[in-house]
């Protein structure tokens, strides 16, 4: 029984073959390979990526695919016992190569194997993206916040690597994301359409319209569902009411946070929000009023 590992006291062990086990500690899980098996089956390029403890080679979750890519014997021992049903040995190898290609394609070249082209491309693009973020590139998108953050229907807030934010049209964001397979790291500010040519509307002017627009949007979604009858329609309205109330509370948090940044106290911001939404309950669709916290 293994008591101590490179990562501390061993809590659990799964033996895959003689000399190869998965070990778990309180902080890490990974492969433990004996010196005999490691030196017989693994390249030096693989061994140098391990943590060595009492002669055993340890590969944590960031590295544990590498010995599987390097050694057919170890790969099949670890992956073929019920963990990946229905996959052939060739499928297993392709799976491992693809996973390693996503994180370290150069390692595969070191051990004489060809990286998966698509996964390696993603790796290169991600590295370029990380470089642009580090340099503070003003065109590089680092976060996308939905309409719940702008409180304007059809408008999305994006943050760029230079520490600034921009309000852009939501449909341009959707199109840009659809054109890439690596998420917002594949989106440039140049691909997005600004929502406003001049000064953006103040937070005070947004919240009332956004809440009302959301209410009508929720009811429209229900109306577009055919053949709702009796209890089904009421259940749909109750759900819409729940989503509407959630929107109101979210608007409150965003609104108060924005006004506090302008210098108002929390109490002053709350009073301002209440003033802005006063009477909104009378302007939302009649079907929603029963479930609304503003009624």
DSSP string for 28-78: -EEEEE-HHHHHHH--HHHHTTSEEETTEEEEETTTTTHHHHH-HHHHHHH
Q: The sheet that has 12-17: what strands, in order across it?
A: 12-17, 20-24, 29-33, 56-60, 51-53
Using the 3D structure, point to which of 94, 122, 150 is the last residue of a domain: 122
In a domain, residue 29? The reply is: yes
Residue 265 has pLDDT above 90, yes or no: yes
Residue 84 has pLDDT above 70, yes or no: no
Which residues are bridge partners to 156 per DSSP?
168
Cα gap 14→6, rounded to integer Å: 16
The per-residue pLDDT for 82 is: 52
> Which H helix or E strand runs over 169?
strand 165-169
Identify the sign of the CA torsion 274, 279, 285, 287: positive
Provide the domain limits for residue 180. Answer: 141-191
The per-residue pLDDT for 230 is: 63
Q: Does 101 lie in the same domain as 54? A: yes
The per-residue pLDDT for 80 is: 73
pLDDT digit string, tens, across residues 227-264 = 656 678 788 889 999 999 999 999 999 999 999 999 99
Cα gap 145→94, rounded to integer Å: 36
In a domain, residue 132? The reply is: no
> Which H helix or E strand runs over 21?
strand 20-24
Cα gap 246→216, rounded to integer Å: 15
Nearest-CA neighbor of 247 among 171, 153, 165?
153
Q: Are 159 and 165 in contact (CB under 8 A)?
A: yes
Q: Are 94 and 102 in contact (CB under 8 A)?
A: no
Q: Does 117 lie in the same domain as 162? A: no
pLDDT bucket at 97, cuts 50 / 70 / 90: very high
The per-residue pLDDT for 29 is: 94
Reading phi first (left if > 0) and then psi (alpha if -120 to 50, else beta), residue 262 is in alpha
Q: Across 134-138, 175-179, 203-207, 288-292, which has the greatest mean pLDDT?
A: 134-138
Q: Does 58 lie in the same domain as 18? A: yes
CA dist 92 → 27, 85, 86 (Å)? 28, 10, 10
In a domain, residue 198? The reply is: no
Count the domains in the chain.
3
Please indicate, yes or no, whether the overall pTM of this predicted structure exceeds 0.85.
Answer: no
In a domain, residue 155? The reply is: yes
Average pLDDT of the chain to the nearest whole number: 91
Length of the chain: 295
Angle at 99 between CA 95 and CA 105, to 5 degrees: 120
Q: Does 148 lie in the same domain as 251? A: no
Q: Does 185 lie in the same domain as 100? A: no
CA dist 80 → 76, 88, 266 (Å)? 5, 9, 59
Percentage of the chain beyond pLDDT 70 is 96
The per-residue pLDDT for 242 is: 94
Cα gap 187→1, rounded to integer Å: 51
In a domain, residue 130? The reply is: no
In a domain, residue 135? The reply is: no
Q: Does 187 lie in the same domain as 223? A: no
Coil, strand, or helix at residue 227? coil
Q: Are 262 and 249 in contact (CB under 8 A)?
A: no
């Amino acid at each position: 029984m293994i008591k101590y590992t490179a990562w501390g006291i061993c809590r659990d062990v799964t033996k895959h073959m003689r000399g190869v086990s998965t070990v778990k500690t309180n902080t890490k899980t990974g492969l433990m390979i004996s010196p005999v098996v490691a030196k017989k089956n693994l390249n030096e390029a693989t061994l140098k990526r391990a943590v060595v403890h009492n002669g055993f080679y340890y590969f944590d979750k960031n590295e544990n695919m590498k010995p599987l890519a390097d050694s057919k014997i170890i790969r099949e021992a670890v992956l073929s016992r019920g963990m990946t049903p229905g996959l052939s040995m060739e499928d297993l190898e392709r799976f491992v190569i693809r996973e390693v290609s996503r994180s370290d394609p150069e390692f595969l070249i070191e051990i004489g194997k060809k990286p998966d082209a698509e996964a390696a491309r993603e790796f290169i693009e991600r590295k370029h993206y990380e470089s642009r973020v580090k340099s503070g590139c003003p065109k590089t998108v680092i976060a996308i916040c939905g309409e719940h953050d702008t409180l304007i229907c059809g408008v999305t807030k994006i943050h760029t690597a230079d520490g600034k934010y921009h309000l852009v049209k939501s449909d341009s964001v959707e199109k840009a994301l659809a054109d890439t397979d690596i998420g917002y790291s594949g989106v440039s500010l140049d691909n997005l359409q600004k929502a406003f040519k001049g000064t953006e509307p103040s937070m005070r002017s947004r919240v009332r319209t956004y809440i009302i627009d959301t209410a009508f949007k929720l009811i429209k979604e229900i109306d577009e569902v055919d053949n709702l009858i009796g209890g089904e329609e009421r259940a749909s309205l109750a759900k819409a009411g729940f989503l509407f109330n959630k929107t109101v509370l979210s608007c409150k948090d965003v609104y108060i946070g924005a006004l506090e940044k302008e210098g108002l106290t929390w109490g002053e911001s709350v009073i301002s929000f209440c003033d802005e939404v006063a009477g909104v309950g009378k302007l939302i669709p009649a079907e929603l009023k029963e479930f609304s916290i503003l009624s």
